[in-house]
């Protein structure tokens, strides 16, 4: 077994994932080993169908591997029961999606408050204060009372990032966060995610945008369910 360094937040050991298709199985991941450290900004790239989303779902505890171990912050997450997994997700991980996935019937502020329901022990006034501070952090404080339908794509993604930060997670998983945004707005969202790594959070982003991927500190390429490239760059972001 590989040694886990102190600052390692994610470790994958021989991770395989098979999807059942009728009577057959399809190996979407074929033995992935990976180590990601605190504060890294990692781009996961690869062709459509190569296994990127599968990998992200396993890392985030949304799905379980068929074989191998996934260790996040020292815990083997594929050994957790469903209630332990959901607590782990709530405490440790923030998710950002291509289509934002905000609740349409809730205001921006209420969307950010929603994941804080886990934190029942925190008084509601404090939660509101925290949600407002997060909206300010992403430059959306003046939009707190608006519904998602009244916001642009970039604004919705900023709110979604504030929501991902609601429980102060150490790790952010972003699945094509700029996939639905124009290039200026993509740049803003990229910078926002980058600023989180400057605060010590670890950001893992699946992207089809090569230019942005090259500006992450590290690019991992997946082809046909395997890592074929893992490049650490010193590109000036």
Ligand X SMILES: Nc1ncnc2c1ncn2[C@@H]1O[C@H](COP(=O)(O)OP(=O)(O)OP(=O)(O)O)[C@@H](O)[C@H]1O
Nearer to ligand X, 45 or 165 (CB): 45
Q: Specify the 3-state DSSP secondary structure of 20.
A: strand
Greatest CA separation for the chain: 54
Q: Is 48 in the site for ligand X (CB under 6 A)?
A: yes
Q: Is 99 in the site for ligand X (CB under 6 A)?
A: no
**Footprint of ligand X on residues 3-42 (CB under 6 A)?**
19, 21, 26, 28
The b/e string for 1-39 (b: 16+ C-beta within 10 A; e otherwise) is eeeeeeebbbbbbebbbbeeeeeeeebbbbebebbbebb
List all residues 6 or more positions away from 223 whose beta carbon is below 8 Å from its beta carbon.
Answer: 46, 47, 50
Size of the site for ligand X (CB under 6 A): 12
* Residue span 54-83 as binding mask against ligand X, x where in contact by CB under 6 A, dash where not: x-----------------------------
For the bound state, the minimum distance from the C-beta of residue 54 to ligand X, rounded and expressed in Å, comes to 3
Q: Is 159 in the site for ligand X (CB under 6 A)?
A: no
Q: Are 36 and 211 in contact (CB under 8 A)?
A: no
For the bound state, the minimum distance from the C-beta of residue 176 to ligand X, rounded and expressed in Å, comes to 7
Among 9, 12, 51, 174, binds ligand X (CB under 6 A): 51
Euclidean distance between the first and final Cα of the chain, in Å? Answer: 35
Residues of the shown chain interacting with ligand X in the complex, contacts defined by CB under 6 A? 19, 21, 26, 28, 46, 48-54
């Amino acid at each position: 077994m590989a040694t886990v360094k102190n600052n390692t937040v994610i470790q994958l050991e021989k991770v395989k994932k098979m999807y059942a298709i009728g009577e057959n199985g399809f190996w979407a991941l074929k033995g992935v080993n990976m180590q990601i450290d605190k504060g890294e900004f990692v781009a996961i790239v690869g062709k459509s169908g190569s296994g990127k989303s599968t990998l992200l779902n396993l890392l985030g505890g949304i799905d379980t591997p068929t074989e191998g171990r996934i260790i996040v912050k020292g815990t083997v997450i594929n050994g957790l029961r469903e209630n332990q997994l959901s607590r782990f997700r709530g405490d440790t991980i923030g998710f950002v999606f291509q289509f934002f996935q905000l609740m349409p019937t809730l205001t921006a502020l209420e969307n950010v408050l929603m994941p804080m329901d886990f934190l029942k022990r925190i008084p509601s006034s404090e939660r509101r204060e925290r949600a407002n501070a997060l909206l300010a952090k992403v430059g959306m404080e003046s939009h707190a009372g608006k519904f998602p339908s009244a916001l642009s794509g970039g604004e919705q993604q900023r709110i979604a990032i504030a929501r991902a930060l609601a429980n102060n997670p150490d790790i952010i998983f972003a699945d094509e966060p700029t996939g639905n945004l124009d290039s200026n707005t993509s740049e803003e969202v990229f910078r926002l995610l980058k600023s989180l790594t400057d605060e010590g959070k670890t950001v893992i982003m699946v992207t089809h945008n090569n230019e942005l991927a090259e500006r992450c500190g590290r690019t991992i390429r997946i082809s046909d369910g395997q890592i074929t490239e893992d490049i650490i760059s010193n590109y000036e972001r």
